[in-house]
Structure formats: C-alpha cells, structure tokens
C-alpha cells in the first residue's frame, strides 16, 4: 500500500532521489517507521529462510541482520528493456514485507521511478557512485547493444559506457530479467542490435542473475535479503542464478506433474484434458527445461502461475527462450520441419542409390565379362 501510495505521488518518499543523497538509518528503523509489526517481519524472515533452504535456526540471525542492516545504496540502470521488470517489482497488490524491504533500500538512481530528470538525474547517479564507491549495489535490467552504441543511450551515454563506469565501484551486480542476464528478447535471432548480457561485459565483479521475463518480485527481495543478512551473494548455479530460487524446474514442482507421469495430456486448449487440468506438455510447455520458482511462489501475491491458469510455461527465465522453437511446440518435437527434410533426403538418396546401384551392377557385369571359364587347369596356382 505504501509503495502504491508512493508511486501515485510520483516517487517513493523514503528515497531522496532529488537530492541525490541516500537516506541513512537501519532497515529495522525504516520498517518500524512504516508500521510493520514484529510478527510479520519474523514471518518474512522465516519465509526467506525456507525459500533459501536455510535451517530454521537461521531465522533469528536473519532477523537480527536485517534489522541492523544499513540501507545500502542501489543504482538501477535500465538498458534495452521494456520496463516489465520494474513493473513486476513495483506491482505488488498488497503491502508486503518484501515490498517494504525493496522500499527500504536507498534507491539512488532509477530513471523510470525517480522524479528527477535530465542533468539532475544523472548527477544523482554520479553522487551516489562517488559517495558509496565500492559499496553500492548495481541493479541492471535490459541488454546492452554492442553493434552500434547509438541504439540505446541515456543522457548521451551509451549503455556500454554507463555499465562499465557504474560497475567499477559496485560491490556486486544484480542482473534483473532475462535481457540483462542472458540477452533476452533483444538478443533473439537475428539480434539486430548485437545485444549482450551484463556478464558478457563485466568480468571482474560478482554478478547475480535473476532471470525471468519478468522475474518474480519475491526473488529479487530474497536476493536482497540474503545480501543484507550475510553481506555476501547467495549460492549460484552454473549460469549465475541463486540456487535457492532456481534450483528446481517448473516441471518438478508443477501441480500438474502427476498427469504427465500418467500420460494424461491436454491436446488442445479447449479439449476435455484442458478442462480437467491435465498436463500441458503437448501444448508446448517448457516446464521441464525451465528453472524458476513460479510453481512454488506463484504470481500476483500467490494467486497462480501460467500453468495454473491453463497456459504452458514458455520458459522465459532460460537463456534464448525466444528461440526455443516455438512456444506451442512440445519440447520433444523437432523445431524444424523434419518430415520435409527426410523427404528431400530420401528423394535425393533414392537417385544417388540408383546411380550407385547401377555402378555396382556394371562392376559385377565387368567381373562376369572378364571371367574366363574355369577348367581343371585353373584349380592350381
């Protein structure tokens, strides 16, 4: 509610973006000033612990750490993106602790959300970078075009330059959304702008990938909570995603999984199977190859997730999901017209086969021709 209110007013109150100076104070103070009860705060800590697969004994530690955490400075850069990630993160329907956590950071630069514009906005970024050098968190959404820097600029600065500059003083980088993490839709074939991800450019800073198109809000706050609690990055998987949220596939946690195991599938969007809520694999569900927390945390405040509302998972949190061969083509189907390929190959091979067969025949005919009738004389060397 707070956040919504803030947004209606144009900018979150607790972040002094116009002045470009971060609001000081601990997170605990901020929460208490927002009227968050101890009980709901502890509940959040417990949820965070369980989501990050931490033992219950860690809950008080998390609570203590979060309460005393200094609100860190956060600089948010948006490059080739659709603002969907920001929309997702700022559109919690009811006031939640996680949204407060998000509110309670010192978001010093976010050109979509901040009230300041033009030179003032850029100045805020520069001041924050200078004052918090080496300590601020850099959040990036959107991909970076490498073909021509002019494809995407902010205040005349190319995305590449801005990222390089901002990354220098960052304690860590959180790449938010599939564009920033893996190139996303701008990177999709034929990738006209030469879009790349943050990790393609920045090699010397810890990077957390929080992919999704958009990512789940609670995942972002979870990552922040971890950072605030432990002062370190959560454990990441082989493509830089926090294992706590991306450790299991949609398929493995899907409530429709039993139908898959039994071989019960919806064949179309309106058949009996679809009505009975059977597995959407045949309709192209990418759940089996998609690692995300949708099936457990769900969306819209735990209301549902795509599969629950009858649509197959499109695999948006995986690299190159856009080029995965069609959202409605089952995973085990070829992404190309294989029967045509096979038909052409067979036709061509039939012609070649006839040619080779005739060559063999003529070879055999030759051996028949050069054969001289074998007589008794020919039985010994």
Partner 1 sequence: MSATIEKGINALKRQVDSSVAAFFSSCVHCGICAEACLFYTETGDAKRTPINKTEPLRRIWKSEYTLFGRVGKMFGLTRKVTDEMLEEWQELVYDSCTLCGRCSMVCPVGNDIALMIRKTREGMAAAGQAPEGLIGATTRSVTIGSPMGVKWPALAAQIRHVEEDSGLKVPVDQSDVDYMLLLSSMEIMNFPEFIEAMAKIFDKAGVSWTISSEAFEATNSGIQIGVSDIAAELVQRIVDVADKLRVKTVISPECGHAYMAIRWDGPNLVGKPFGFKVRHVLEVLDDLHKQGRLKLAGKDTQRLTYHDPCQISRRGGVIDEPRNLINLFADNFVEMPDGGKMNWCCGAGGGVSANERADEIRLKVFDRKKAQLEEVKPDAIISACSNCRIHLEDGLEEHNMDIPLLSLTETIAEYLSDE
Partner 2 sequence: MSEIEILSWARGPGLQIATVIFVAGVVIRIFEILLLGRKANLAEAKGSEMSSGLKTMITRTVPDKTTFKRSSVTIVAGYVFHIGMFISFFFFAPHILFFKDLIGISWPSLPGAVIDACAVISIIALLAVLVNRLTNKVMRFLTNFEDLLTWFLTFLPLITGYFAFHRIGFTAPSLLAAHLLSVELLLVVFPFTKLMHTFTLFLARWYNGAISGYRGVES
Binding site for partner 2 (CB under 8 A): 182, 237-239, 249, 251-252, 260-263, 265, 281-282, 288-291, 315, 318-321, 323-325, 329-336, 338-339, 341-342, 344-346, 348-350, 352-354, 356-358, 360-361, 364
Does 189 bind partner 1 (CB under 8 A)? Our answer is: no
Residue 94 interacting entry, from partner 1, partner 2, none, C-beta within 5 to 8 Å by type: none
| Three-state DSSP string of 45-106 | HHHHHHHCCCCCCHHHHHHHHHHHCECCEEEEEECECCCHHHHHHHCCCCCCHHHHHHHCCE
Q: Which is nearer to partner 2, 109 or 278 (CB)?
A: 278
DSSP string, 16-39: -TTTT----SBHHHHHHHTT--HH
User: Among partner 1, partner 2, none, what binds residue 3 when CB lies within 5 to 8 Å by partner kind?
Assistant: none
Nearest approach in angstroms of CB 193 to partner 2 is 18
Beta bridge partners of 176: 141, 210
- H or E segment and range at residue 218: helix 217-230
Cα–Cα nearest to 161, from 120, 190, 202, 123: 202
CB of 170 to partner 2, least distance (A): 24
Distance in angstroms (rounded) separating the CA atoms of residues 45 and 352: 70
117 binds, options partner 2, partner 1, none, Cβ within 5 to 8 A by partner type: none
The site string for partner 1 over 339-368 (x = CB under 8 A, - otherwise) reads -----------------x---x--xx--xx
Which tokens belong to 371? 């054969």
Q: Shortest gap between Cβ of 219 and partner 2 (angstroms)?
A: 18
**String marking each residue 307-346 x if it binds partner 1 according to CB under 8 A:** ----------------------------------------
When CB distances are held under 5 to 8 angstroms depending on the partner's kind, the choice from partner 1, partner 2, none that residue 332 binds is partner 2
CA 312/CA 318 separation, integer angstroms: 15
At closest approach, how far in Å is the CB of 348 from partner 1?
A: 14
The option from partner 2, partner 1, none interacting with 336 (CB < 5 to 8 A, set by class) reads: partner 2
Which lies closer to partner 2 via its Cβ, residue 155 or residue 359?
359
CB of 164 to partner 2, least distance (A): 23
Q: Among 119, 189, 336, 379, indicate the residue that binds partner 1 (CB under 8 A).
A: 379
For helices 58-68 and 217-230, angle between their N-to-C axes, nearest 10 degrees: 90
Q: Quote helix, strand, coil % in the chain, to nearest 5.
A: 45, 15, 40
- Give CA–CA dist 9/264, Å, rounded: 50
115 binds, among partner 2, partner 1, none (CB under 5 to 8 A by kind): none
Distances in whole angstroms, Cα of residue 71 to Cα of each of 25, 65, 66 = 7, 12, 9
Q: Which does 263 bind (CB under 5 to 8 A by kind): partner 1, partner 2, none?
A: partner 2
* Contact present, 115 and 10 (Cβ < 8 Å): yes
CB 19 within 8 A of CB 190: no
User: Which residues contribute to the site for partner 1 (CB under 8 A)?
Assistant: 356, 360, 363-364, 367-368, 370-371, 373-381
């Amino acid at each position: 509610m707070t956040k919504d209110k803030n947004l209606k007013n144009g900018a979150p109150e607790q972040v002094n973006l116009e002045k470009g100076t971060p609001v000081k104070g601990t997170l605990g103070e901020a929460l208490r000033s927002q009227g968050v009860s101890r009980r709901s705060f502890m509940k959040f800590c417990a949820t965070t612990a369980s989501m990050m697969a931490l033992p219950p004994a860690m809950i008080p530690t998390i609570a203590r750490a979060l309460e005393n955490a200094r609100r860190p400075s956060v600089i948010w850069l948006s490059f080739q993106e659709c603002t969907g990630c920001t929309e997702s993160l700022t559109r919690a329907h009811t006031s939640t602790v996680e949204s407060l956590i998000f509110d309670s950071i010192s978001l010093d630069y976010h050109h979509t959300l901040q009230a300041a514009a033009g030179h003032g906005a850029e100045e805020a970024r520069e001041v924050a970078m200078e004052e918090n050098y080496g300590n601020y968190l850099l959040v990036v959404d959107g991909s970076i075009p490498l073909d021509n820097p002019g494809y995407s600029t902010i205040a005349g600065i190319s995305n590449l330059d801005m990222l390089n500059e901002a990354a220098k003083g960052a304690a860590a980088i959180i790449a938010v959304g599939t564009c920033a993490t893996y190139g996303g839709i701008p990177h999709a074939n034929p990738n006209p702008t030469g879009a790349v991800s943050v990790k393609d450019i920045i090699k010397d800073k810890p990077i957390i990938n929080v992919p999704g198109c958009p990512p789940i809000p609670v995942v972002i706050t979870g990552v922040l909570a971890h950072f605030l609690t432990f002062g370190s990055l959560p454990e990441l998987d082989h493509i830089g995603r926090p294992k706590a949220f991306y450790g299991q596939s949609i398929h493995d946690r899907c409530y429709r999984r039993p139908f898959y195991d039994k071989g019960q599938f919806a064949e179309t969007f309106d058949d009996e199977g679809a009505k009975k809520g059977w597995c959407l694999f045949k309709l192209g569900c990418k759940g089996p190859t998609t690692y995300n927390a949708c099936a457990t945390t769900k969306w819209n405040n735990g209301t549902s997730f795509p599969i629950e509302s009858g649509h197959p998972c499109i695999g948006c949190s995986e690299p190159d999901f856009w080029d995965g061969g069609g959202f409605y083509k089952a995973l085990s189907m070829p992404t190309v017209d294989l029967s045509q390929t096979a038909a052409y190959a067979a036709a061509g091979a039939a012609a070649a086969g006839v040619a080779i067969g005739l060559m063999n025949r003529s070879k055999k005919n030759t051996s028949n021709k050069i054969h001289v009738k074998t007589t008794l004389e020919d039985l010994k060397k």
